[in-house]
Amino acid sequence: MNSYERYMGMVKGQKVDFVPRVPILMHFAVRYAGVTYGDFARDGETLVAVNRKLVEDFGFEQLDIMSDPWRETVDFGGTIQYLDDAVPKCTRPPLADSRDLGLLLDPAPRTSERMSNALRALALYKEFGYHRYSITGWVEGPAAEAADLRGVTNFLMDLMTEEGFACDLMDRCVANAIAFALAQIDEGADTIGIGDAIASQLSPELYERFVFPREKQLVDAIHAAGGLVRLHICGDINHLLPEIALLNVDILDCDSMVDMAAARDTLGNGVVLTGNLDPVRAVMDSNPQAIRDALREIYETVGNPYFVNAGCEIPVATPLDNLRALCEPLPAA
């Protein structure tokens, strides 16, 4: 059973040999491979080379295009600064001082700078590992991308005082995310991750009213194109689980704050749960045996379907033996 078969088997409720592993590796990946973060973020060939090395050295199931949250923002007209040893930073959100949507560029996945670069990376993944590994693309969710374009504080204020504008902005973000996601599926991605971290900061009422319908539109479009959906919302989403259950996602990343038993009870056995080791306390600052024990405990709590993962990105200073322990085969029930 290869990595792709193991991954898809778990998603489909089939018997697999051991639990698929899908760690989020960005800053750690850069340090491990000895490249600059700027090259990792802006050059698809570097990103692919780094992730090929990781799957071959640590044996996990997934190739992905994660590097930073600014891919779509740049193509909308935002300005970022690439750094050698840190995640790129956005120096100028395009709508930082304005609610004029006309200031945004009209991104096109196959021609805009950073989205087209991601598609090139996916094409290279397909040449290397199609149906040997899962290939996962990513888009920003409606709230996350709107916050990237306006700035977090501005966007949260907009939801309270300028809801018409906030909804129009999120609609623009969803339209682009759908186009980008479908292009990624065309290039060989079997799964599309949706990152919508800021949603964890919203009340259930605000999430249900403003974000849920737009996430649902995105999820449905990905499914209609034949892709799986992996939702990643950093932080405490316990209060959002009843609404998330209605999205019909295939995979839900669970941060360390999430009650895994409650997540399983709420979402049922049709959704793969991933996580939820604390990336710092339970991975970076832990030890291999403690990591093995913690993963077994989580798996015993949630059962199938489950993917091994930390609650979020593996920290850059994580000892190699700790990541190896995270990626050791965990026999599947």
Q: 180-203 burial, b if ≥16 CB within 10 A, otherwise e?
A: bbbbbbebbbbbbbbbbbbbbbbe
pLDDT value of residue 215: 98
Q: How many Å apart are CA 184 and CA 17, to the nearest integer?
A: 29
Domain residue limits, the chain: 3-327
pLDDT value of residue 240 = 98
Q: What are the tens digits of pLDDT across the range 8-23?
A: 999 999 999 999 999 9
pLDDT value for 84: 95
Give the number of C-alpha atoms closer than 13 A to the C-alpha of residue 217, restricted to the C-beta side.
Answer: 17
Question: pLDDT means per 10 residues in the chain (333 residues)?
Answer: 97 97 97 97 97 97 97 97 95 96 97 97 97 98 98 96 97 98 98 97 97 98 98 97 98 98 98 97 98 98 98 97 98 96
Closest by CA to 67, choosing from 39, 92, 94, 93, is 39
If you compute the radius of gyration of the chain from its CA atoms, what whole number of angstroms results? 19
According to CATH, the topology of domain 3-327 is: TIM Barrel (3.20.20)
Contact 39/308 with Cβ under 8 angstroms? no
Among residues 287, 173, 284, 196, which one has the least CA distance to residue 247? 196
Contact 214, 170 (CB under 8 A): yes
256-286 in b/e burial notation, b at 16+ Cβ within 10 A?
A: bebbbeebbebbeeebbbbbbbbbbebbbeb
Which pTM value belongs to this model?
0.96
Output the pLDDT for position 236. 97
